[in-house]
Amino acid sequence: MTQVLAIMVLPLFLLAGIVAAAVLDRAVPPLVAGRSLKASFVGPITVASSRAMGQTGATEHPDTISWILAPILYFTLAAIGLSVVPFAPGVVAADLDAGIVLWGACESLTVVAVFLHGWSANSPLPLIGAYRYVAIGLPAMLLSMFVLIAAALPAQSLAVTDIVEAQRSVWNIVRQPAGFVLFLMLGLSLSLRGPFDFADPYDLAGGTTAEISGAARLTWWLARLAMLVSVSAMTATVFLGGYLGPVLPGFVWLVVKTGLVLVVLVGAGEVFARLPPDRMMNLIWLALLPLSFLMLVAVGVELLLWG
Amino acid sequence: MAIAILRRLAGAAPAPAFPAIGAGMRAAADDLFLDGRLIRADSIRHARILLVAGPVREADQDDIRRLHDQMLHPRATLWWKSNPVPDFAEPATCDEDDPVAAIEAIHRALIEGARDSEPDILPNEPPNPWRGKGDYGQGGEGMMGGTPYGRPMAMTDDDLRDGLALDAYTAPFGPFLPMLPPGLKLSVTLQGDVIQTAKLLRPPSAQAEAYDGTVTALRALGRFLPILGLEAHAVRCLEAARSLSAGKPIELAKIRQFLFWSGALAAIPSGIGMVEDTDVRMRVERWLAALDESPTGGLDGSATMSPLKPARLVDLLRGREWSEAILIVNSFDTDTLISLAPVEAEDAETEGRAREDGIRMDHEGHGTHAHGATGT
């Protein structure tokens, strides 16, 4: 019964999150640019309508099926990833013993979805965006695995519900603050944002989106926002205690925490500079990956000695 | 009913326009898109309106036509302080300083169906006939190589960087790509995203932007920062430049502070684009230093604007990744870039010869509107 409830809540959660993310995306850049704040619900809707009306775009000999499927795959991965997140005690769409593994699979398949999107356009700049994303996305996902295992260690379980329950004494963000930051970076990478937007950046004229318009661009945009919501909910669950919190119902706590992470991610996407891909690769492989591994060791030692 | 609502909503959205910028109009175009009623399209595919700003060089006319045909329906062109290129039927022109109202009117008319979408100008066909000579109609020998339709098939080639031989790929980029200075057109051979060779096809259009210390630095930052993903910071810089030119006071300290925390300087690799012992990062540092100074003083104009004959842009780009190359190109002002990209007979020849041999992956040479928006 609770699972049915969770399955019904999931699309609503995703939809509300997408709307919130779209509004934030309109509100935060002017704020960073020092302009007056104009948060509106109408703005994103008019832009979406404008996109829905145009042609979708065509190149010479594109891989049409992949081109259509890539945004759908991306959106689906966001939804499946969200399905392991418990909305309230016992209310989870996919209560798996290895929920973290399912999430990890969604992460890695995102690389495939983004690559397909750039590849299938049969055009130089989208293709460069696609290759770049694979180069950066791969080590970024690897990193997230270490971070997630470190978060799962105290729970001694790969089930997301157990990971939440294990945070009753102390949230994972306290146990491994650096892991939280690394996971936020992964969130930027999964949702192609700011410092980790190597697939659709300005220097590639929109990268994998350079050849698309109309409804195709609209779906890609929605899929990116869906992934942002999904990764925010996952961050809130794994590091901020998910539905845990005093007074208010668990679901409200999850929504509040997810919203908070959403704001942080959208803000970080606007505020921090993006390294050229080669430099970013060095940073991830030589600094961040060893760091995440050390943190995993640290959590293990802590649990062995005091756990 | 639903369509009517959709149209009303779409009509209220900011008008997505792609600027094709000619001589002397770069700063005006930058200022124009600070207006919230417009969206600056990164790719022509994202635009509904092609905004041709300023005079178009004769050599660029064909690119304008191709750009137009790559735009998706419904579409329109507005010639802003520009002379329409032949073949455009009933061109809409605007000679006012502020064309936003004209763009908005055209956009709304397009959405509401009051204005017809512009038809193609060029024929939608390959630039060269099929010239396959292999057993299966492919271009070259065996299963690979050759130049069917005047476009080379993928073939592995020696690599400059790490010896990992990938498919070399040659394509023209410019003259209206948003991340390159207006008018600059290069023929680039890439392996992955590493530039193996670059040839100059056309230099940037002259912009005649008077040197003005802080304003010049702010404008340069406004064009440079989006490459680092700092679009909002870029808007802040461009707005400050506009205010400063209009004589309004601005808070430069805040801009510097924001840029410091963004990590923009640390993101730029050191040692790239070295000309006269300054690399890209040092040139950006110079702009930042100019923000410290008085609005009229600031960085030494003569030092940054001196002609730099010995260095050539194409040599600076060789062996660089795409995004590093874009950083290098945008670290120079237009005048310096023109001096780094000497117009030599050889460049025109190169373009001509390339066409004859059909050695280029020819987005540029073929009439189709169904391929390679990004190439133009």
pLDDT in tens, A241-279: 989 989 899 899 999 999 999 999 999 999 999 999 989
Residue B376 has pLDDT above 60, yes or no: no
SS3 B79: strand
- Scan residues 104-143 of A and list those with Cβ closer than 8 Å to B: 122-126, 128, 131-132
Q: What angle do CA B376, A274, A172 make, to 5 degrees?
A: 140
Q: Is residue A258 part of a domain?
A: yes
Q: Do B373 and A211 touch (CB under 8 A)?
A: yes
Share of chain B above pLDDT 90, in %: 41
Task: Give the pLDDT band of residue B133 (cuts 50, 70, 90).
Answer: low
Mutation choice for A interface testing from B42, B233, B321, B328 by most A CBs within 10 A: B42
Q: Which residue of A has its CA nearest to B236?
A: A33
Nearest to B371 among A46, A53, A59 (CB): A59
Is the peptide bond preceding residue B182 cis, with omega within 30 degrees of 0?
no
Q: Do B43 and A210 touch (CB under 8 A)?
A: yes
Look at chain A and report how many structural domains it folds into: 1
User: Structure tokens of B45?
Assistant: 């595919």
- Higher model confidence: residue B52 or residue B156? B52
Q: Do A213 and B45 touch (CB under 8 A)?
A: yes
Query: In the predicted model, what is the mean pLDDT of residues A39-52?
Result: 82
Nearest to A57 among B45, B48, B229 (CB): B45
Task: Give the pLDDT band of residue B297 (cuts 50, 70, 90).
Answer: very low
User: Structure tokens of A302?
Assistant: 């802590």
pLDDT at res. B346: 46
d(CA A139, CA A271): 23
Q: What does the pLDDT look like over B344-353, one tens digit per residue?
A: 544 444 444 4
Nearest to A205 among B254, B264, B374 (CB): B374
B187 forms bridges with which residues in the sheet?
B172, B199
Query: In the predicted model, what is the mean pLDDT of residues A52-74?
Result: 88
- Higher model confidence: residue A77 or residue A31? A77
Encoded amino acid at B68, one letter = H
Measure in Å the smallest separation between the Cα of A279 and chain B Cα atoms. Answer: 7
Sorted by where each starts, the structural domains of chain B and their CATH numbers stand as 2-112 (3.40.50.12280), 213-332 (no CATH)
Tokens 């992934």 sit on residue:
A227
β-strand B92-94 against B15-21: which pairing, if any? unpaired
Quick check: B131 and B125 in contact, CB under 8 A?
no
pLDDT at res. B185: 93
Q: Is residue A44 part of a domain?
A: no
pLDDT at res. A46: 87
Measure in Å the smallest separation between the Cα of A264 and chain B Cα atoms. Answer: 15
Q: Which residue of A has its CA nearest to B168?
A: A124
B194 forms bridges with which residues in the sheet?
B191, B321
Q: Is residue A51 part of a domain?
A: no
pLDDT at res. A102: 95
Measure in Å the smallest separation between the Cα of A77 and chain B Cα atoms. Answer: 25
SS3 B80: strand
Return the C-alpha torsion angle A132, A138, A143, A147, nearest 10: 120
Q: Which residue of A has its CA nearest to B174?
A: A205
d(CA B69, CA B366): 12
Task: Give the pLDDT band of residue B152 (cuts 50, 70, 90).
Answer: low
Task: Give the pLDDT band of residue A108 (cuts 50, 70, 90).
Answer: very high
pLDDT at res. A68: 93
Q: Which residue of B has its CA nearest to A44?
A: B13
Q: Is residue A50 part of a domain?
A: no
B168 forms bridges with which residues in the sheet?
B155, B191
Measure in Å the smallest separation between the Cα of A296 and chain B Cα atoms. Answer: 28
Contact list, A32 vs chain B (CB under 8 Å): 232-233, 236, 258
Task: Give the pLDDT band of residue A41 (cuts 50, 70, 90).
Answer: confident
Task: Give the pLDDT band of residue B167 (cuts 50, 70, 90).
Answer: confident
Nearest to B6 among A49, A124, A203 (CB): A49
User: Containing domain of residue A164, as a range?
Assistant: 2-36+66-306
Contact list, B268 vs chain A (CB under 8 Å): 276
Nearest to A217 among B6, B46, B264 (CB): B46
- Higher model confidence: residue B87 or residue B234? B234
Quick check: A218 and A225 in contact, CB under 8 A?
no
Q: Is residue A257 part of a domain?
A: yes
Quick check: B328 and B316 in contact, CB under 8 A?
yes
From B48, B46, B118, B42, select the one nearest B87 (Cα to Cα): B118
Tokens 């890539």 sit on residue:
A70
Q: Which residue of A has its CA nearest to B233?
A: A33
Tokens 């060089």 sit on residue:
B57
For CA atoms A197, A201, A204, A207, the dihedral sign is positive
DSSP B196: E
Q: Which residue of A has its CA nearest to B195?
A: A128
Nearest to A197 among B36, B229, B267 (CB): B229
Residue B184 has pLDDT above 80, yes or no: yes
From A5, A183, A191, A230, select the one nearest A113 (Cα to Cα): A191
Measure in Å the smallest separation between the Cα of B309 and chain A Cα atoms. Answer: 27
Mutation choice for A interface testing from B49, B193, B262 by most A CBs within 10 A: B193
Contact list, B16 vs chain A (CB under 8 Å): 50
d(CA B326, CA B316): 11
Measure in Å the smallest separation between the Cα of A135 and chain B Cα atoms. Answer: 11
B45 Cβ contact partners less than 8 Å away, ≥ 6 residues apart = A57, A206, A210, A211, A212, A213, B70, B71, B72, B373
User: Structure tokens of B111?
Assistant: 């959405």
Q: Do A34 and B239 touch (CB under 8 A)?
A: yes
Encoded amino acid at B76, one letter = A
Q: Is residue A256 part of a domain?
A: yes
CA distances in angstroms from A112 to A130, A266, A281, B327, listed in the order given: 9, 24, 19, 28
Q: Do B72 and A213 touch (CB under 8 A)?
A: yes
Quick check: B190 and B168 in contact, CB under 8 A?
yes
Q: Report ipTM (2 d.p.).
A: 0.91
Tell me which H or E stretch contains B51: strand B49-53
Tell me which H or E stretch contains A45: helix A42-53
Measure in Å the smallest separation between the Cα of B229 and chain A Cα atoms. Answer: 6
Within B108-226, strands assigned E span 155-156, 167-173, 185-191, 194-202
B122 Cβ contact partners less than 8 Å away, ≥ 6 residues apart = B65, B66, B69, B367, B368, B369
Question: How long a stretch of residues is chain B?
Answer: 376
Quick check: B168 and B155 in contact, CB under 8 A?
yes
Share of chain A above pLDDT 70, in %: 98
Query: In the predicted model, what is the mean pLDDT of residues B291-302?
Result: 54
Q: Which has the minimum average pLDDT: A41-55, A268-282, B65-79, B124-138? A: B124-138
User: Structure tokens of B330?
Assistant: 């945008």
Contact list, A278 vs chain B (CB under 8 Å): 269, 321, 324
Query: In the predicted model, what is the mean pLDDT of residues A190-211?
Result: 93
SS3 B43: coil
Q: Which residue of B has its CA nearest to A276?
A: B323
